[in-house]
Structure 1
Amino acid sequence: MVAAVPTTTRARADTVVPWALAAGTAAVYTLFAVLQWRLLESPSWDLGIFTQLAKAYAQPAAPVVTIKGEGFNLLGDHFHPLLVVLGPVYRLFPSGLTLLVLQALLLGLSVQPVTSVARELLGPARGTVLGVAYGLSWGLQGAVGAQFHEIALAVPLLAAALAAFLRGRWRAAALWAAPLVLVKEDLGLTVAALGAVMVWRAGRGRPGPESSPGTGHLRRVWRSTQGRTGALVLVWGVAWSVLAIGVVLPALNPGGTWDYYDRLDPAADASLLVRVLTPGEKWVTVLLLVGSAGVVGATSPLVWLWLPTLAWRFVGNVPFYWGWDWHYSAVLMPVAAAALLDVVAGRGDRTAGGPAPPDRTEPADRRAPPGTGAGGWATLGVVATTATTLLMTPVMPLGRLAEPATYALPERHDAAMAAIEAVPAGATVETDIYLMAYLVPRAQVYWVGNPGNPAPDYVQLDTLRRTWPDRDITDAASFAEERHPGTDYALVLDAGGFQVARRVG
C-alpha cells in the first residue's frame, strides 16, 4: 500500500516547485544571454534601440531614440509605455546586458503561474513536466535568441492572467491582463480575445429560472460577474488598440502615421486567403503551436488569443513574421499551455467534449476534482507538448549550450573592445548594428542606415561585414565624408576589421 503524501508536504511542494522551476529557467536563459553578449552577437538593431530607450528613461527623459532618427520618440514607433520600468534598472546597471538579463528573469518568472496551476489541475508529476516543457518552449527560446523586446513584459502578465482564469478567478485574470495594453499596441486585441472567451464561458453556464432564448440569454450573461468582467475586458482591449494605433502612435510619430501600415496588406480581395495561407512556413508555425498545446488544447476557446497575433503576422508582408525562430511567438506560449490545461483538466468547453466551464458559484460536487485531469488525455497532452519542446531545442538557442565554441571569446573580441573604447564617453557616433548596443551606454548613437543624421563626432564600422546600404565598406573615414559632405574624418583605429573614424573638420 502506498502511503498518502501529507497535505502539508504537498502544499509546500506546490509552492516551492513552481518557483524553483522559474528560477532554474531564468538561470538557463541568463546564462545564454551572458554568453551571447560575450560573443558580440547582434541578431538585429533592436537591443540597441531598447537600450537607448532605457537610458532615456533612466535620466528620466522622454524616450527619444536617435538610432531610429534624430529626435525620434520611440512611443511613436510602438505603444509600450510600460517599458518605463526599465529606467530604474538601467540606472543601476547601465548596459545592454542588463536588458538581456531582465528579459531572462521575466520569461523565467512566467513559469511560476503556469507550473502552479498545472500542478493543481493535473497533479504534481504531470504539472511539473508541463511547467518544464513550457519554460523551455520554442517560443520563449526564440525570444531569448532574438534579444530584448517589449514582449518580455507581456509573457509573465499573460501567464498570470491565464492561470487566474483557469482557477475561475476572473477578476484577478482581468487585473493581470489589463496592463498588457501598455506593452504593445496589438496586445489590446489579445486582451479583447480573453474577454470574449470570458463572455462565451459565462453564456454557457447553467440556465437560471428567468433565462430564455435571445435577450434573456444576454441578460443572464450580463447579470453574471463573469459576463460583466469579460465584457469589460473585451471593451478595454479593443479601446486601447484603437486609441494606440489611431491616435497615440500617429501623434508621436515624425511621419504622423503608424509606421507599420505598409507591412500589412489586409485588402479583402480574392488573394487574401492565399496570402494568409502561404507560404508553407506559416503552417509549420501553426503546427508547432498545436504541438505546444498538446494537440488537444487546440480545441479550447483560449486559442482565440492566438488569432490577433497570427493575423497580423500572416497578413504581414515581412517573412520574419511568419516563422518560429524569432520573438513573435513568445506571447503565444502561455496561451498554448493554458489551452492544454483548459481541456485536459476537465474544464474544456462542452463543444469540445469537456464538462461545464469553470464557475466558482457551482456546487462543489459538480466541479472536477483538483489534480485529476482528464485521465489519459492529460498524459497524452503533456507528452505532446514535451515532445514538441524536445524536438525543437536542438535547433533553438539553448541547443548551442552544448557546443564548446559558445563558451569561447570570439576571435575579434579584443579588436571590438578597442573599437568601443576608441569612442569617448559623451561623444556622438554613427555606427552599424554590430557594436551598437555596446556603444549606447557611453555615447549618443545613430544608425548609419538613417538619412538625415547630423554629422557625428565618430563613425564606427565593421568593415568585414556588409552594412547599410547593402555594400562593402573598406574605409570608414571615406564613407563618413561621403555621407556627410563638407566634413573631414580621419581613421583613429583599424583593428581586426573594426574601424573608427574621428571628425577633424
Structure 2
Amino acid sequence: MDRPTNSPAVPAVSAEAGRRSRRLVPPLLALAATLAYGMLGSQQFHRLVARSWDLGIFTQLARAYGELRAPIVPIKGDDVNLLGDHFHPLLVMLAPVWWVWPSGEALLWTQALLFGLSAIPLTRLAIDRLGPGLGSLAGGAYVFSFGLQSAASVQFHEIAVAVPLLALSLTALLRGRALGAVLWAAPLVFVKEDLGLTVALLGVLIALRHREHPRHRRGGWVLAGWGAGWFVLSTFVILPLLNTAGQYDYTDNLGSPLEVFWPPVKWLTVLMLLLVAGLIGGRSPLIALMLPTLAWRFTGTVEFYWDWYWHYNAVLMPIALAAMLDALGDRRTGHATAWWRRDAPLPVRRIRVTAVAASAAVTLLLGPAMPVLDVLRPAQWEPTWRAEPAAAALGAVPDGSVLAVDITLMAQAVPDHDVQWVHGPNQRVPDCVLIDRYAFSWGDGPPQDLQSWAQQQWGAEYQKEFESGGFTVVCRP
C-alpha cells in the first residue's frame, strides 16, 4: 500500500540503508562506468575503429595545449585555430592529460572518467529522494543511458566536460543550493558556444524557483545574463574572429524552422529523451533545459543531429534525470515540483517505480545495439590482424614529418607527426602520405596508384615506402 504523502520520517533501518547506499553505490557506479567506457575506448583504439575524424582533431588540440601552444589543428586546415571552429577554451584542461599520456587513447579515458564522475552527485540525490533501491536503479540507468553510451562509442568530444558540470549544477539546484548551481553552471559557456543558451535558461529557472529569496533570484538573473552574453560574444564575435574564413562555420547547417518537426526520427529522439526522464520528468520545469540543444539540432540540416545514437544527447542525460527527480519529489518532505506549482503532492509509489523503470527500460530495450556491451564480448578483444601492419605503416614515416593521412590512423599518427587530412584544404606539401584502403572516408574508393595520385595532388615526387594490410605509405625522396 502506498505511504501517504504526509507520512512521518523515514524509519531508522531504512535511513541506515539509505546512508550506506549513498556512500557506496555512487562511487561504485562511477567506477563501473569509467572502466566500461574507458575499456570500450581502448578496444576501439587498438582495433583501429575510427568513427570520424574528431578523435584525431581533439588529439591534435590536446598536443597543442600540452606543448603550450595555441590550438592550431592542421587536420582542419593550415593555421586553423580550433577555437574558431567551436568555442571550448575549457579543453585547456587536456594539457596535463597530454603530459602524462600523450595519446588519443588518453582522451577516451578522460571522457570515460568525466561520464563516470557525473553519476556521483546525481545518484546520491536519487538515493536521498527515492530511497536506496529506486535511487540506485535511477543512477545506474543514468550512467549507462543511451546518450552517454552513444557519446562514448563515437569517441571524444568537448561535451564530455559539460556532463559533470551539468550534473553538479542541477544537483545543487535540487538540493536548494542556488549559489552552487550558479557556480557549477557558469563554466559551461566555455565548453561549447550553444551551451550559453542552456546556461541562460537555467539562470531564468533559478530566478523563478527562488523568486522569494532576493539574493538567489539575483544570482539566477546574473547567470541568465552571463549565459546569453557569452552565447552572443562567442558565436558572433570570437568564433568569426578566430576563424580562418572570418565566419561562424555552422550557420549554413541551419534550415527552416518549419522543418523542426520533420522527419519523424526527431519525434523518436524526443520520445526516448522523455523516457529517460521517466515521462513524469515532463512535469518539471527543468525539462525545458533540453530545448536550446534540441532547437539547433532539429533546425539543422545534418541528419546526425536528429538521431539518438551520436554524441549530441550526452548533455541531455543529466537534465533528464534531474527533471525526473524533481517531478518525483522527495520522500523526506512529501513534495514534488510541477510546471504549475513548486509543492505538488508526492506521486504514489507505483508511479515512482514506473518512472524509474521506464528510464532504465529505454536503454535495456535497445539491447545488443548498446556499444558498451562490446566490452563483454571476447571476440571484440581479439587483436585485429591489421594491428601489426598499422604499426609498421606508422613506423615507416619519419618522426616529425608532415603526414597526410586518412581517417583510420589519424589519431594514432598525431603524437609523432605533423598530421593533416589527406582530403583537406592544406597548402603544405606533405613529406609522406599514408592511406588505408578500407577507410570509409574514401567514398568511391582509394587510389590504385598512391604514388601517381599524390604527385597529382601536390606536384611532388613520391616513392613507396610500405604496403601491407591495406595500408600504403609513400614519401618524398
Once the 2 structures are TM-superposed, how far is the Cα of residue 461 of structure 1 from its aligned partner? 0.2
Answer whether contact 1:22 1:110 (CA < 8 A) is retained: yes
AA of the residue aligned to 2:207: V
- What is the correspondence of 1:75-474 to structure 2 with a 5 Å cutoff? 75-203=83-211, 224-266=214-256, 272-273=257-258, 275-346=259-330, 348-351=336-339, 355=343, 374-468=348-442, 470-474=444-448
Is 2:465 aligned against 1:502? no
AA of the residue aligned to 1:491: K
What SS does the corresponding residue of 1:294 show, helix, strand or coil? coil
Answer whether contact 2:283 2:338 (CA < 8 A) is retained: no
Per the alignment, residue 63 of structure 1 pairs with: 71
Answer whether contact 1:50 1:148 (CA < 8 A) is retained: yes
CA distance in 1, matches of 2:453, 2:179: 58
Once the 2 structures are TM-superposed, how far is the Cα of residue 348 of structure 1 from its aligned partner? 4.0
Once the 2 structures are TM-superposed, how far is the Cα of residue 378 of structure 1 from its aligned partner? 1.4
CA deviation string 1:133-180 (max 9, x = no partner): 001000000100010000000000000101111111111011111100
Per the alignment, residue 214 of structure 1 pairs with: none
Answer whether contact 1:460 1:476 (CA < 8 A) is retained: no
What SS does the corresponding residue of 1:110 show, helix, strand or coil? helix
What SS does the corresponding residue of 1:277 show, helix, strand or coil? coil
TM-score of the aligned structures, taking structure 1 as reference length = 0.88
AA of the residue aligned to 2:25: V
Identity fraction in percent: 47
What SS does the corresponding residue of 2:196 show, helix, strand or coil? helix
CA distance in 1, matches of 2:89, 2:11: 53
Once the 2 structures are TM-superposed, how far is the Cα of residue 420 of structure 1 from its aligned partner? 1.4
Query: Structure 2 vs 1, CA of residues 466 and 398 (structure 1 numbering), >3 Å: closer, same or farther?
Result: closer
Answer whether contact 2:18 2:127 (CA < 8 A) is retained: no
AA of the residue aligned to 2:216: Q
Query: Structure 2 vs 1, CA of residues 466 and 167 (structure 1 numbering), >3 Å: closer, same or farther?
Result: closer
CA deviation string 1:450-493 (max 9, x = no partner): 123311110000123454575432222222111102x1000100
Pick one of 487, 490, 493 that aligns with 2:463.
490
Once the 2 structures are TM-superposed, how far is the Cα of residue 249 of structure 1 from its aligned partner? 0.3
Once the 2 structures are TM-superposed, how far is the Cα of residue 353 of structure 1 from its aligned partner? 6.8
Answer whether contact 1:449 1:469 (CA < 8 A) is retained: no
Answer whether contact 2:74 2:426 (CA < 8 A) is retained: no
CA distance in 1, matches of 2:336, 2:34: 31
What SS does the corresponding residue of 2:474 show, helix, strand or coil? strand
CA distance in 2, matches of 1:468, 1:69: 18
AA of the residue aligned to 2:208: W
What SS does the corresponding residue of 1:152 show, helix, strand or coil? helix
What SS does the corresponding residue of 2:115 show, helix, strand or coil? helix
Per the alignment, residue 3 of structure 2 pairs with: none
CA deviation string 1:100-143 (max 9, x = no partner): 01100100010101101001111111100100000100000010
Length, aligned pairs only: 464
Answer whether contact 1:467 1:473 (CA < 8 A) is retained: no
Answer whether contact 1:463 1:475 (CA < 8 A) is retained: no
TM-score of the aligned structures, taking structure 2 as reference length = 0.93
What SS does the corresponding residue of 1:285 show, helix, strand or coil? helix
Comparing 16-25 with 143-152, which one deviates more in the overlay? Answer: 16-25
Per the alignment, residue 362 of structure 1 pairs with: none
CA distance in 1, matches of 2:463, 2:67: 33
What SS does the corresponding residue of 1:454 show, helix, strand or coil? coil
Query: Structure 2 vs 1, CA of residues 247 and 20 (structure 1 numbering), >3 Å: closer, same or farther?
Result: same
Answer whether contact 1:138 1:393 (CA < 8 A) is retained: no
AA of the residue aligned to 2:380: T
Alpha carbon RMSD of aligned pairs, Å? 1.9
What SS does the corresponding residue of 1:460 show, helix, strand or coil? strand
Once the 2 structures are TM-superposed, how far is the Cα of residue 379 of structure 1 from its aligned partner? 1.2
Q: What stretches of structure 1 of length at least 5 have no aligned partner? A: 204-220, 267-271, 357-367
Answer whether contact 2:21 2:127 (CA < 8 A) is retained: no
Is 2:32 aligned against 1:48? no
AA of the residue aligned to 1:49: I
CA distance in 1, matches of 2:17, 2:443: 62
Answer whether contact 2:161 2:191 (CA < 8 A) is retained: yes
Once the 2 structures are TM-superposed, how far is the Cα of residue 201 of structure 1 from its aligned partner? 2.0
Once the 2 structures are TM-superposed, how far is the Cα of residue 414 of structure 1 from its aligned partner? 1.3
AA of the residue aligned to 2:274: V
AA of the residue aligned to 1:50: F
Query: Structure 2 vs 1, CA of residues 10 and 99 (structure 1 numbering), >3 Å: closer, same or farther?
Result: same
CA distance in 2, matches of 1:467, 1:378: 47
Once the 2 structures are TM-superposed, how far is the Cα of residue 422 of structure 1 from its aligned partner? 1.2
Answer whether contact 1:44 1:433 (CA < 8 A) is retained: yes
Once the 2 structures are TM-superposed, how far is the Cα of residue 28 of structure 1 from its aligned partner? 1.1
What SS does the corresponding residue of 1:328 show, helix, strand or coil? helix
Answer whether contact 1:429 1:445 (CA < 8 A) is retained: yes
Answer whether contact 1:293 1:336 (CA < 8 A) is retained: yes
CA distance in 2, matches of 1:469, 1:488: 25
CA distance in 1, matches of 2:170, 2:438: 47
Once the 2 structures are TM-superposed, how far is the Cα of residue 396 of structure 1 from its aligned partner? 2.0
CA deviation string 1:183-232 (max 9, x = no partner): 000011111111121223234xxxxxxxxxxxxxxxxx6x6233212111
Query: Structure 2 vs 1, CA of residues 336 and 489 (structure 1 numbering), >3 Å: closer, same or farther?
Result: same
Answer whether contact 1:52 1:65 (CA < 8 A) is retained: yes
CA distance in 1, matches of 2:312, 2:11: 46
